[in-house]
C-alpha cells in the first residue's frame, strides 16, 4: 500500500514536471510581442517557373500558348495559429496586388503579427464586396482605382478585376489573343455573379514561427500555378472561349483558379 | 457751432458709408457670391455624401478646370465638356452616341449631367454607384478619352496652376487621382437644375398656360409612373419597348436575363434641350419619342408591364394630347441652369 502511494506520488510529480515542460515550450513566445511574416507568391506554370512572353506552355487540351500578363489580388489575410486561434490582418493593410511583371509584388510582408506558431493561412483571391463599394477615399494602395489598381478595375461596372491572365494561343505567330479578366463581387444593388474565392492552406506540419526578434520573419513560400486557371474542373478551350470577362463563363475560370495556390515550404530562418 | 459739427459728423459718416459700399462692390465684380451646394426647396435629401466631400469654392473651381481640360484624354483633344455641353444641359447636342477621341463613336448617348447629387447610380445601365468613380469610365473608355487617370495626374502634375488649385482645394499641392475625382464631384454636384418654369409654378411665382396645364395632367396620368417626383425619374431600369439591338443595357451589369434591354429611366428635366433621345439617341425630337410610346412599343420578354396593359402595348395618346404634353415638357427647361456662367466653359 505504501509502495503504491509512493508510485503514485512519483507519477504525480513526473506528470507535473511534464506539464511544466510543456508550459516551458509554450513560453518561448509572447503573443503581446509583434513580429513579421512573409508570404511569397511564386508564380509557376506547372512544374516550371512562369516566364512571361517567352515561355510556351500547353493546356490540358493540348493547346499551346504563352502568357503576357498574370495579375491577381490577394486580400483578407488570416493567419491560423497552431493553438487553434486566428489572427486577422487588419482590413486596411490586407489588400495586395501580385503582378508577375513586377517582382517586388511577389513578396507580401505582414507586420505587427502577434508572436506565435502559425500552421496555416487563409485569404481571398480577389477583393471582398465591401471594398468594392467603399468611398474612393478609402480605396488606398493596391485598391486605388485611379493609380495602382487602375488596370485591375472595371470603371464601367465599378468593380475590381480579381485576376487577369492574358497571352496568345495556338501559336504566337498567329497572334490569337486570349484575355481572361475575372471579377464579380455579387453586385451592389442587384445580385450578380460572385467570383470571390476563399482559400485556406495548411503549412503541412512546419509552423511559421513569428518572433519579434527575427528581422525578416518566417516565410511561407507559395506556388501559384497559372496553368490551373485553365485546367481543372473545367478545361478551358482557347478556341471556344478566348475572351472571358464579366460573363457567366467566368465562374468556371474562378472555380479553376481557386485551387491554383499551394504551399511549397515554410522556412523560419 | 456745436450743431455744425454734428451736421458735419453726419455728413462724413454718410460719405464714409458710401465709400464702404463702393469698395464692397469692387470686391465682388459683378459675380454672385459662391453659395456652395444647396438642396432646392422640395428636393429630397441628396444621395451624394457632401459631408465627406463638402463642396468648397476652391474644390468646385478645380473640378471645373478638370472638367474642361482636354488633357484628360490621351491626345489632349477631348474634355468632359466636349460631350457634356452646358447649353444642352451637359449633353452632346446633336450627337446620337458619344463622339470621342479620333472621331471614334461609342454605343450610347451622352447623358445629361444635372442633379447628380440625387442619383442612386450613374450611366444608362447604372454600372457605377458612386459619383466619385464616374469620371474614370469616360477617361479609360478607348472610344471616349482613351487615357488613364494616372497618366492625367502625371500630365497635370507639373502644372503650377493645378498645384495651386489642389493646394487651395485640399490643403496640399500633392496631386492624386482620388482628389481629382473628388474635385470633379464637387463641380458636378453643383450642377443643380431646379429653376424651370415648372419649379416657378410650384413655387407660386409663375403660372402655366391652359395648354401647359392640360399637358401636366396628361403627363401625370400617362408618364409620371416612371418619370416620377421632382427629379422626373424613379431611377429604375425599364425596358420601354424600343426595337432591340445588341445593347442589352442593365443586363451587362447584372447578367440577369430579367434585366435584358432595360435602361435607366432618364430625368426629363431640360428634356427640351437634350435631343437626341433614348440610350442610343435614336429619336431626334420629342414628337418622335411620344410617337414611340403611342405606336412603336415592341413586345418582348422584359417589356415593362406598364407598357402592356389590357392586351395592348404602348400608351394611348391623341395628337392633341401629344402637343400639350410637349408644351408641358418644355416647362421643364431651366434657362438659368444652361446659361449659368458659373458652370459654362467660356
Q: B-chain residues within 8 Å CB-CB of A192? A: 253-256
Is the ipTM beyond the 0.90 threshold?
A: no
Contact A156 B259 (CB under 8 A): no
Band (A8; pLDDT cuts 50, 70, 90): low
Q: Does B228 touch chain A (CB under 8 A)?
A: no
Give A154's strand partners.
Answer: A159
Nearest partner of B112 among B90, B135, B137, B85, judged by Cα: B90
The number of beta carbons lying within 10 Å of the beta carbon of residue A65 is 23
Are the C-beta atoms of A110 and A146 separated by less than 8 Å? Answer: no
From B339's Cα to the closest Cα of chain A, the distance in A is: 30
The answer to whether residue B116 sits within a structural domain is: yes
Buried b (16+ CB within 10 A) or exposed e, B166-177: beebbeeeebbb
pLDDT for the residue B188? 98
CB contacts under 8 A, A 117-146 vs B, are 133, 135-137, 139, 144-146
Sequence-separated (6 or more) residues with CB below 8 Å from residue B216 = B208, B328, B331
Number of domains in chain A: 2
Q: Does B107 touch chain A (CB under 8 A)?
A: no
Read off the C-alpha cell for A184.
Answer: 464579380
Backbone angles phi, psi at A266, to 5 degrees: -125, 130
d(CA B144, CA B78): 8
Q: B-chain residues within 8 Å CB-CB of A144? A: 177-178
Closest chain B CA to residue A157: B127
Closest chain B CA to residue A139: B178
d(CA A139, CA B133): 11
> Per-residue pLDDT tens for A166-176?
999 987 677 79
pLDDT for the residue A158? 80
Backbone angles phi, psi at A167, to 5 degrees: 175, -160
The verdict on A23 and A70 lying in the same domain is no
From A19's Cα to the closest Cα of chain B, the distance in A is: 56
The verdict on B332 and B202 lying in the same domain is yes
Number of domains in chain B: 2
Q: How many CB pairs under 8 A join A and B?
A: 90
The verdict on A11 and A104 lying in the same domain is no
Mutate to test the interface with B, among A130, A133, A136 (most CBs of B within 10 A): A136
pLDDT for the residue A26? 52
Read off the C-alpha cell for A113.
Answer: 503579427
The answer to whether residue B341 sits within a structural domain is: no
Are the C-beta atoms of A79 and A200 separated by less than 8 Å? Answer: no
pLDDT for the residue B9? 53
Query: Exposed (0-12), middle (13-18) or buried (19+): which is B257, by Cβ within 10 Å?
Result: exposed
The answer to whether residue B62 sits within a structural domain is: yes
pLDDT for the residue A173? 74
The verdict on B174 and B260 lying in the same domain is no
Q: What is the mean pLDDT of residues A4-10?
A: 54
The verdict on A153 and A204 lying in the same domain is yes
The verdict on A71 and A59 lying in the same domain is yes
pLDDT for the residue B13? 47
The answer to whether residue B226 sits within a structural domain is: yes
Nearest partner of A266 among A210, A224, A215, A203, judged by Cα: A203
Sequence-separated (6 or more) residues with CB below 8 Å from residue B205 = none
Q: What is the mean pLDDT of residues A230-240?
A: 97
Contact A155 B136 (CB under 8 A): yes
Q: Does A190 touch chain B (CB under 8 A)?
A: yes
Q: Note down pLDDT in tens along chain B; length 346 residues.
A: 444 444 445 555 444 444 444 444 444 444 567 889 999 999 999 999 999 999 999 999 999 999 999 999 999 999 999 999 999 999 998 898 888 888 888 889 999 999 999 999 999 999 999 999 999 999 999 999 999 999 999 999 989 999 999 999 999 999 999 999 999 999 999 999 999 999 999 999 999 999 999 999 999 999 999 999 999 999 999 999 999 999 999 999 999 999 999 999 999 999 999 999 999 999 999 999 999 999 999 999 999 999 998 888 999 999 999 999 999 999 999 999 999 999 998 8
> Per-residue pLDDT tens for A197-212?
999 999 999 999 999 9
Read off the C-alpha cell for B310.
Answer: 389590357
Q: A-chain residues within 8 Å CB-CB of B154? A: none
d(CA B271, CA B227): 12
CATH of the domain at B242: 1.10.760.10
Closest chain A CA to residue B253: A157
Give me the domain span that covers residue A100.
Answer: 31-267
d(CA A83, CA A65): 45
d(CA B106, CA B83): 11
pLDDT for the residue B26? 41
Nearest partner of B92 among B326, B290, B336, B280, judged by Cα: B280
Among the candidates B148, B170, B192, a domain finishes at: B192
Amino acid at each position: 500500500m505504501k509502495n503504491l502511494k509512493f508510485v503514485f506520488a512519483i507519477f504525480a510529480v513526473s506528470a507535473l514536471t511534464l506539464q511544466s515542460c510543456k508550459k516551458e515550450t509554450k513560453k518561448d513566445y509572447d503573443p503581446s510581442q509583434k513580429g513579421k511574416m512573409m508570404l511569397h507568391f511564386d508564380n509557376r506554370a506547372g512544374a516550371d517557373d512562369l516566364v512571361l512572353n517567352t515561355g510556351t506552355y500547353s493546356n490540358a487540351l493540348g493547346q499551346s500558348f504563352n502568357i503576357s500578363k498574370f495579375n491577381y489580388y490577394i486580400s483578407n489575410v488570416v493567419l491560423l495559429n497552431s493553438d487553434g486561434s486566428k489572427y486577422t490582418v487588419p482590413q486596411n493593410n490586407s489588400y495586395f496586388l501580385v503582378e508577375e511583371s513586377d517582382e517586388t509584388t511577389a513578396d507580401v510582408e505582414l507586420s505587427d503579427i502577434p508572436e506565435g506558431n502559425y500552421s496555416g493561412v487563409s485569404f481571398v483571391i480577389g477583393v471582398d464586396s465591401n471594398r468594392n463599394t467603399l468611398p474612393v477615399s478609402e480605396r488606398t494602395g493596391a485598391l486605388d482605382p485611379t493609380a495602382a489598381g487602375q488596370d485591375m478595375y472595371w470603371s464601367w461596372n465599378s468593380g475590381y478585376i480579381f485576376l487577369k491572365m492574358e497571352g496568345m494561343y495556338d501559336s504566337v505567330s498567329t497572334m490569337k489573343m486570349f484575355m481572361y479578366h475575372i471579377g464579380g463581387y455579387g453586385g451592389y444593388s442587384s445580385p450578380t455573379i460572385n467570383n470571390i474565392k476563399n482559400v485556406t492552406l495548411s503549412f503541412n506540419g512546419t509552423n511559421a514561427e513569428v518572433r519579434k526578434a527575427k528581422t525578416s520573419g518566417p516565410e511561407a513560400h507559395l506556388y501559384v500555378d497559372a496553368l490551373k486557371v485553365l485546367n481543372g474542373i473545367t478545361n478551358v478551350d482557347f478556341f471556344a472561349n478566348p475572351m472571358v470577362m464579366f460573363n457567366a463563363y467566368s465562374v468556371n475560370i474562378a472555380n479553376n483558379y481557386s485551387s491554383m495556390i499551394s504551399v511549397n515550404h515554410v522556412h523560419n530562418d | 457751432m456745436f450743431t455744425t459739427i454734428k451736421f458735419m459728423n453726419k455728413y462724413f459718416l454718410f460719405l464714409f458709408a458710401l465709400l464702404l459700399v463702393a469698395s464692397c462692390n469692387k470686391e465682388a465684380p459683378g459675380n454672385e457670391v459662391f453659395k456652395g451646394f444647396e438642396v432646392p426647396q422640395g428636393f429630397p435629401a441628396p444621395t451624394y455624401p457632401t459631408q465627406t466631400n463638402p463642396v468648397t469654392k476652391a474644390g468646385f473651381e478645380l473640378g471645373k478646370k478638370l472638367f474642361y481640360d482636354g488633357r484628360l484624354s490621351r491626345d489632349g483633344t477631348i474634355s468632359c465638356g466636349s460631350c457634356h455641353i452646358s447649353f444642352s444641359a451637359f449633353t452632346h447636342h446633336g450627337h446620337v452616341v458619344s463622339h470621342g477621341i479620333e472621331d471614334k463613336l461609342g454605343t450610347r448617348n451622352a447623358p445629361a449631367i444635372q442633379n447628380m447629387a440625387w442619383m442612386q447610380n450613374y450611366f444608362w445601365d447604372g454600372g457605377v454607384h458612386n459619383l466619385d468613380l464616374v469620371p474614370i469610365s469616360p477617361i479609360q473608355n478607348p472610344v471616349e478619352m482613351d487615357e488613364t487617370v494616372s497618366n492625367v495626374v502625371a500630365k497635370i502634375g507639373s502644372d503650377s496652376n493645378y498645384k495651386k488649385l489642389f493646394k487651395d482645394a485640399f490643403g496640399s499641392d500633392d496631386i492624386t487621382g482620388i482628389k481629382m475625382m473628388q474635385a470633379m464631384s464637387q463641380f458636378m454636384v453643383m450642377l443643380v437644375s431646379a429653376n424651370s418654369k415648372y419649379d416657378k409654378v410650384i413655387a407660386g411665382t409663375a403660372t402655366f398656360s391652359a395648354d401647359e396645364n392640360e399637358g401636366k395632367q396628361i403627363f401625370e396620368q400617362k408618364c409620371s409612373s416612371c418619370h416620377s417626383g421632382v427629379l422626373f425619374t424613379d431611377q429604375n431600369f425599364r425596358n420601354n419597348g424600343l426595337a432591340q439591338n445588341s445593347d442589352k443595357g442593365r443586363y451587362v451589369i447584372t447578367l440577369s436575363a430579367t434585366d435584358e434591354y432595360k435602361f435607366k429611366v432618364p430625368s426629363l428635366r431640360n428634356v427640351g434641350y437634350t435631343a437626341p433621345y433614348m440610350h442610343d439617341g435614336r429619336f431626334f425630337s420629342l414628337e418622335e419619342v411620344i410617337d414611340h410610346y403611342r405606336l412603336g412599343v415592341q413586345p418582348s420578354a422584359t417589356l415593362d408591364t406598364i407598357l402592356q396593359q389590357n392586351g395592348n402595348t404602348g400608351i394611348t395618346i391623341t395628337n392633341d394630347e401629344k402637343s400639350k404634353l410637349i408644351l408641358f415638357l418644355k416647362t421643364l427647361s431651366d434657362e438659368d441652369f444652361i446659361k449659368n456662367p458659373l458652370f459654362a466653359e467660356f
